[in-house]
Amino acid sequence: MLKKLILLVWLAASPAALAAPVIVVLGDSLSSGYGLPAGSGWVALLEARLRAQGYPHQVVNASVSGETTLGGRNRVTGLLERHRPDVLIVALGGNDGLRGLAPETTRANLAAIIEAAQARGSRVLLAGIRLPPNYGRPYIEKFQALFPELARRYGVSLVPFLLEGFGERLEFFQADGIHPSASAQTLMLDNVWPALQPLLGAHPGPRRTSREGMEES
């Protein structure tokens, strides 16, 4: 009987059982850390914030500079199978808009990504983006409307605008005027955090440091 109990405890404590929940970020250059020093992008800051607040989650940054929603749609199945994320953050669409792709195409690609994630039990956070005014009001309105439409349709969490609060302030952008600078990365994380935190589960509390310098949970 004792041996059986030990076996059950060992199985419960196996790596599969103890694996930390995973957050996958599927984005473009705004999330890949384009033009930034290593470790200073908002996704890296997210991982640091999770650790500081005692969350066990691991973060996988699957963002690729120049990625479109079609590219994300083509990659998402492999990412879901490989990482089995508890949460998938979808931060795509900006390159679709800058290329003037049909909003209906962008909507269909994002819908496919969301459906694939939900079919595998992942919770989804969708991050919206806005376009410069030179793309014309009719196109901009159709493009920006697709993010809240998808959030309502699939019941997923939404960040209305990833660059909220600084999107028109050039001092928060690199020389190209497109990619946020290092000083903007905390602002981006602060835009994501309120929508993400409810998806993380119970809050375990921040880690503390003992007098001996050891981390305590």
Catalytic residue among 29, 63, 122, 157: 29
- Residue 179 is among the residues annotated as catalytic for this protein: yes
Catalytic residue among 40, 65, 83, 179: 179
Strand partners, 157: 125
Q: What are phi and psi of 124, to 5 degrees?
A: -120, 135
**Dihedral angle of Cα 145, 120, 92, 202, to the nearest 10 degrees:** 90
- Residue 57 is among the residues annotated as catalytic for this protein: no
User: What three-state secondary structure class fits 62?
Assistant: coil
- Residue 29 is among the residues annotated as catalytic for this protein: yes
- Rounded-to-integer distance, Cα 94 and Cα 129, Å: 6
- Rounded-to-integer distance, Cα 22 and Cα 122, Å: 10
Catalytic residue among 14, 176, 210, 217: 176
User: What three-state secondary structure class fits 119?
Assistant: helix
Q: In this structure, how many other beta carbons lie within 10 angstroms of the beta carbon of residue 203?
A: 10
Quickly list H helices, the chain.
2-12, 15-18, 29-32, 42-52, 69-83, 94-98, 103-119, 137-154, 185-196
Q: At 201, which amino acid appears?
A: G
Catalytic center residues = 29, 176, 179
